């Protein structure tokens, strides 16, 4: 996922996580501080902070940086990210992003 | 009295049914009073909108649009192998197709602006849905979503964590605090025995769930039933019945116009268009006001198959048709005089752990929860709007379960209909069902959840692990609900539907949007080229100025300022230029006595009336500079 706004059309979806951080519901200065913490947390998890998710304060999308795609590496990257995100005290909630199936009606 | 030259308008039976008068949305009288959705923006969240088509272009809102599949502001649909990405354009045409342009058709709210968010043409994630639901939410008033989880009769899905958060955020902060209006299609899984209570978007209290009826007012073969459906409007039926005529894309097999738009996809945009008409006459309606007006004005009609029930507040509801047919005339007249409902109040029961066996039909497991006056006193909740039940059930074949909820009045809702194709062994894990059938009733009393297993006797035992009841409503008393009903019926004559009558509207909140307008790579390239041109032009100009000044620097015989002015003027005259500054310089005294230096206008006039730039004035006062 290249950014919080979306994916390249029909491109493969890499690993990504939605993360809700504590203390980001207030003013813009707080939001800026949270963004910096999000950057640091993403780096620690081996991911890149792709930015805030739409208008949801404190919610960020972390993506796996571009690189070689091997099954073993991907699983290792997933485990590392899960460990870091699950163990960090500032993470209120996190979820790996998976494809949703939606149909036109 | 209205005449449109759009060639397909006479076939748009849903707008003006000449073959079966009355079987349409009753909108022409509203148009005649200049209510066309002016000042309202509807956004179609779908596979894109071909905004260059003649029916769309004049009403297109680029400010409200975005492409989440390609991450740029242009929601133009991309041709695909199946010629399938015409869906959003068709929906957009239903809402806001431009009239009297001799092209195709007319939209329900043809005075509104239409935007597109392209999101269904590629991989979709929870975070993308969340972005879509709040995209440009201070510009877009109504989000029309003609899509949802698979209607295969075995899917249980809906918005995930972020999508839910975005819907909630949208109704709180969107539309300057009045709340974004989310219209969703109820589903096309009728053939698969599907039910829209298994669709989380339809169950959400933040959405307006719209179903379809055919031209004869019956539930079409594709339509789904559910207890959370608010209302229905027209769409296509079986082969003998007409579909919706609307604008289409002109890419691939498209001609720019279609007579074959159908499904609940075609119904939801008609509803969204009608919401736009409401917001024109009363822009400060909140998202809950809009829901209330639908409940209060939708019309119940004779259809023996629909199993209408009347609740204690006097509202008729059917699992097939919700509170009935949407009627544009009634909606707009009600909107015109509507004052806001009291704030949303809610009550949440504790998580009720049961761990009880679900018996086979005709037996059933019944669990109850009493909501007392004291329970409701804290929130002030008196009358109901949505009632939700969150259940965790283990069962080896989920589709064999039958769940019913009874409100204190006895009003019964089938919140979990059996589905023959759903053989999922996972049961329900905190799935929230909802019903609107108790709308307007008193909230206090006993709620009864009944669960039974309609599977065969070989199926293993299901267990109701836990459940939780959530009530949503307001501090309105039942009498106030009744009073509002009477008030609305009084307005249906149309006596308030003129420009001379308007209730005061509070100002909205100033809610900033985070990302404003993002630039596409193409726009950035264009800007860079323009920037380069500006730099070169500036350099060229500076060079020219410097070279022209070299003559002055080398003229050693004339070093004083007066001499320079005289020389410059002399050179300008030689070149045939009449400088505007020249007469000002010569009439300096006159200019100084004409007014103070901080004149309101940027320039002043000389005796001949020539407008002189303020910059030149300044130059004269400070003396000549080189």
| b (16+ CB within 10 A) / e for B157-182 | bbbbbbbbbbbbbbbebbbbbbbbbb
Where does the pLDDT of residue B551 fall: very low under 50, low under 70, confident under 90, or very high at 90 and above?
A: low
Q: Are A28 and A8 in contact (CB under 8 A)?
A: no
B-chain residues within 8 Å CB-CB of A54?
Answer: 127, 130-135, 166, 514
| b (16+ CB within 10 A) / e for B406-423 | bbbeebbbbbbbbbeebe
pLDDT tens digits for range B372-401: 999 999 999 999 999 999 999 999 999 999
Q: Are B353 and B328 in contact (CB under 8 A)?
A: no
Q: Over 70: is that where the pLDDT of B570 sits?
A: no
**Rounded CA separation B431/B438 (Å):** 20
CB atoms B71 and A8 under 8 Å:
yes
In terms of DSSP bridges, do strands B41-46 and A103-104 run parallel, antiparallel, or are they unpaired?
A: unpaired
B-chain residues within 8 Å CB-CB of A56?
Answer: 130, 134, 162, 165-166, 169
A-chain residues within 8 Å CB-CB of B161?
Answer: 18, 93, 95
Q: Report the residue of chain A nearest B267, measured CA to CA.
A: A105
- Beta carbons within 8 Å of B478's beta carbon, 6+ residues apart: B312, B313, B382, B383, B440, B441, B442
Q: Are B352 and B369 in contact (CB under 8 A)?
A: yes
Instruction: Return the structure tokens found at B610.
Output: 């020539």
Where does the pLDDT of residue A77 fall: very low under 50, low under 70, confident under 90, or very high at 90 and above?
A: very high
- Among B47, B71, B185, the residue with its CB nearest the CB of A2 is B71
Residue linked to tokens 């053939």: B191
Tell which of B82, B88, B125, B202 to mutate to test the A interface (max A CBs under 10 Å).
Answer: B125
**Rounded CA separation B176/B99 (Å):** 30
B127 belongs to the catalytic site: no
Nearest-Cα distance to chain A for B583, in Å, is: 54
ipTM at complex level: 0.89
Nearest by Cα to B306 from B220, B198, B240: B220
Q: Report the residue of chain B nearest A3, measured CA to CA.
A: B71
Q: Are B419 and B337 in contact (CB under 8 A)?
A: no
**Rounded CA separation B573/B585 (Å):** 15
- Among B185, B513, B514, the residue with its CB nearest the CB of A105 is B185
Q: Over 70: is that where the pLDDT of B165 sits?
A: yes
The span from the first CA to the last CA of chain A, in angstroms, equals: 27
Instruction: Return the structure tokens found at B465.
Output: 């692990």
Where does the pLDDT of residue A4 fall: very low under 50, low under 70, confident under 90, or very high at 90 and above?
A: very low
Catalytic option among B46, B47, B151, B248? B46
pLDDT tens digits for range A13-54: 689 999 999 875 656 666 788 889 999 999 999 999 999 999
Nearest-Cα distance to chain A for B13, in Å, is: 21
CB atoms A53 and B70 under 8 Å:
no
Mean pLDDT over all residues of chain B? 88
**Rounded CA separation B93/B51 (Å):** 10
Q: What is the DSSP string of B418-438?
A: --TT---TT-EEEEEEEE-TT
Nearest-Cα distance to chain B for A7, in Å, is: 5
- Among A3, A9, A93, the residue with its CB nearest the CB of B121 is A9
Q: What is the DSSP letter of B498?
A: S
Nearest-Cα distance to chain B for A18, in Å, is: 7
Catalytic option among B65, B235, B265, B394? B265
In chain A, DSSP assigns E strands to 16-21, 48-52, 59-63, 91-96, 103-104
**Rounded CA separation A27/A94 (Å):** 22
| b (16+ CB within 10 A) / e for B211-230 | bbbbbebbbbebbbbbbbbb
Which of B27-36, B222-231, B347-356, B591-600 is least confident? B591-600
The answer to whether the Cα torsion of B313, B319, B322, B325 is positive or negative is negative
pLDDT tens digits for range B120-150: 999 999 999 999 999 999 999 999 999 999 9
Instruction: Return the structure tokens found at B71.
Output: 């991450």
- Give the phi and the psi of residue B579 in degrees, each rounded to 5: -75, 135
Q: Over 80: is that where the pLDDT of B21 sits?
A: yes
Q: Does A6 touch chain B if contact means CB atoms closer than 8 Å?
A: yes
A-chain residues within 8 Å CB-CB of B126?
Answer: 18, 95, 97-98, 100
Q: Over 90: is that where the pLDDT of B118 sits?
A: yes
pLDDT tens digits for range B232-249: 999 999 999 999 999 999
pLDDT of residue A29: 65
Q: Cα angle at B220 between B389 and B275, to 5 degrees?
A: 65
Q: Report the residue of chain B nearest A31, measured CA to CA.
A: B514
In terms of DSSP bridges, do strands B231-234 and B207-213 run parallel, antiparallel, or are they unpaired?
A: parallel
Q: Are B338 and B295 in contact (CB under 8 A)?
A: no
- Other C-beta atoms lying within 10 Å of the C-beta of residue B395: 23
pLDDT tens digits for range B461-508: 999 999 999 999 999 999 999 999 999 999 999 999 998 999 999 999
Alpha-carbon distances, residue B424 vs B41, B150, B350, B355 (angstroms): 41, 15, 28, 20
Catalytic option among B61, B67, B86, B87? B87
- Beta carbons within 8 Å of B424's beta carbon, 6+ residues apart: B154, B156, B397, B398, B399
Q: Are B370 and B364 in contact (CB under 8 A)?
A: no
CB atoms B123 and A11 under 8 Å:
yes
CB atoms B185 and A97 under 8 Å:
no
- Give the phi and the psi of residue B30 in degrees, each rounded to 5: -70, -45
B-chain residues within 8 Å CB-CB of A3?
Answer: 71
Q: Are B99 and B91 in contact (CB under 8 A)?
A: no
Q: Work out how many CB contacts closer than 8 A connect A with B.
A: 132
B-chain residues within 8 Å CB-CB of A102?
Answer: 120, 124, 147-149
B-chain residues within 8 Å CB-CB of A9?
Answer: 69-70, 78, 121-122
């Amino acid at each position: 996922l290249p950014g919080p706004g979306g994916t390249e059309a029909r491109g493969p979806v890499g690993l990504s996580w939605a993360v809700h951080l504590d203390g980001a519901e207030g003013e813009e200065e707080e939001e800026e501080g949270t963004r910096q913490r999000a950057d640091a947390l993403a780096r620690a998890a081996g991911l890149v902070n792709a930015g805030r998710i739409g208008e949801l304060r404190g919610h960020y999308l972390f993506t796996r940086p571009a690189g070689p795609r091997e099954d073993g590496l991907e699983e290792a990257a997933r485990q590392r990210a899960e460990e870091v995100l699950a163990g960090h005290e500032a993470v209120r909630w996190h979820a790996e992003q998976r494809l949703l199936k939606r149909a036109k009606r | 009295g209205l005449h449109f030259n759009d060639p397909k308008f006479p076939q748009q039976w849903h707008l003006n049914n000449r073959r079966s008068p009355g079987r349409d949305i009753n909108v022409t009288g509203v148009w005649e009073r200049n209510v066309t959705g002016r000042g309202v923006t509807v956004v179609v969240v779908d596979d894109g909108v071909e905004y260059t088509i003649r029916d769309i272009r004049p009403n297109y809102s680029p400010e409200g649009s975005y492409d989440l599949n390609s991450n740029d502001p242009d929601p133009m649909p991309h041709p695909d192998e199946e010629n399938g990405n015409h869906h959003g354009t068709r929906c957009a045409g239903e809402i806001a197709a431009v009239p009297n342009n001799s092209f195709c058709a007319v939209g329900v709210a043809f005075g509104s602006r239409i935007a597109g968010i392209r999101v269904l043409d590629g991989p979709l994630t929870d975070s993308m849905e969340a972005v879509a639901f709040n995209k440009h939410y201070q510009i877009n008033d109504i989000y029309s979503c003609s899509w949802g989880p698979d209607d295969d009769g075995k899917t249980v899905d809906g918005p995930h964590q972020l999508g839910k958060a975005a819907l909630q955020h949208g109704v709180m902060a969107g539309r300057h605090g009045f709340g974004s209006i989310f219209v969703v299609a109820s589903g096309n899984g009728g053939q698969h025995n599907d039910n829209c209570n298994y669709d989380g978007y339809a169950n959400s209290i933040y959405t307006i769930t719209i179903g379809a009826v055919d031209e004869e007012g019956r539930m079409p073969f594709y339509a789904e039933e559910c207890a959370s459906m608010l209302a229905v409007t027209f769409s296509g039926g079986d082969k003998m019945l007409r579909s919706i005529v609307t604008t289409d894309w002109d890419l691939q097999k498209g001609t720019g116009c279609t007579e074959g738009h159908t499904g609940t996809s075609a119904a939801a945009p008609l509803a969204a268009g009608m919401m736009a008409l409401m917001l024109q006459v009363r822009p400060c309606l909140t998202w809950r006001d809009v829901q209330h007006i639908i409940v209060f004005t939708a019309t119940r009609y004779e259809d023996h198959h629909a199993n209408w029930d009347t609740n204690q507040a006097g509202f008729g509801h059917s699992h097939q048709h919700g509170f009935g047919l949407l009627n544009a005339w009634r909606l707009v007249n009600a909107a015109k005089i509507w004052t806001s409902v009291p704030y949303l109040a809610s009550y949440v029961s504790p998580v009720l752990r049961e761990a009880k066996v679900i018996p086979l039909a005709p037996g059933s497991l019944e669990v109850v929860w009493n909501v007392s006056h004291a329970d409701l006193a804290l929130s002030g909740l008196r009358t109901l709007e949505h009632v939700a039940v969150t259940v965790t059930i283990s069962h080896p074949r989920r589709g064999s379960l039958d769940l019913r909820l009874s409100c204190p009045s006895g009003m019964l809702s089938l919140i979990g209909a059996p589905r023959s194709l759903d053989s999922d062994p996972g049961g329900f894990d905190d799935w929230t069902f909802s019903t609107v059938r108790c709308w307007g009733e008193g909230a206090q009393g006993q709620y009864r959840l009944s669960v039974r297993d309609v599977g065969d006797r070989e199926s293993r035992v299901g267990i109701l692990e836990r459940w939780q009841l959530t009530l949503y409503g307001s501090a309105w008393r039942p009498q106030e609900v009744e009073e509002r009903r009477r008030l609305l019926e009084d307005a249906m004559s149309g006596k308030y539907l003129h420009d001379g009558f308007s209730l005061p509207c509070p100002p909205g909140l100033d809610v900033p949007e985070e990302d404003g307008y993002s630039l596409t790579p193409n726009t950035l390239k264009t800007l860079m080229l323009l920037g380069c041109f500006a730099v070169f032009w500036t350099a060229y100009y500076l060079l020219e100025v410097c070279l022209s000044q070299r003559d002055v620097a080398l003229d050693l015989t004339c070093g004083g300022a007066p001499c320079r002015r005289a020389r410059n003027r002399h050179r300008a005259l030689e070149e045939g230029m009449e400088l505007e500054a020249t007469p000002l310089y010569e009439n300096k005294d006159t200019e100084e006595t004409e007014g103070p230096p901080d004149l309101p206008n940027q320039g002043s006039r000389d005796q001949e009336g020539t407008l002189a730039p303020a910059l030149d004035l300044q130059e004269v006062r400070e003396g000549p500079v080189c």
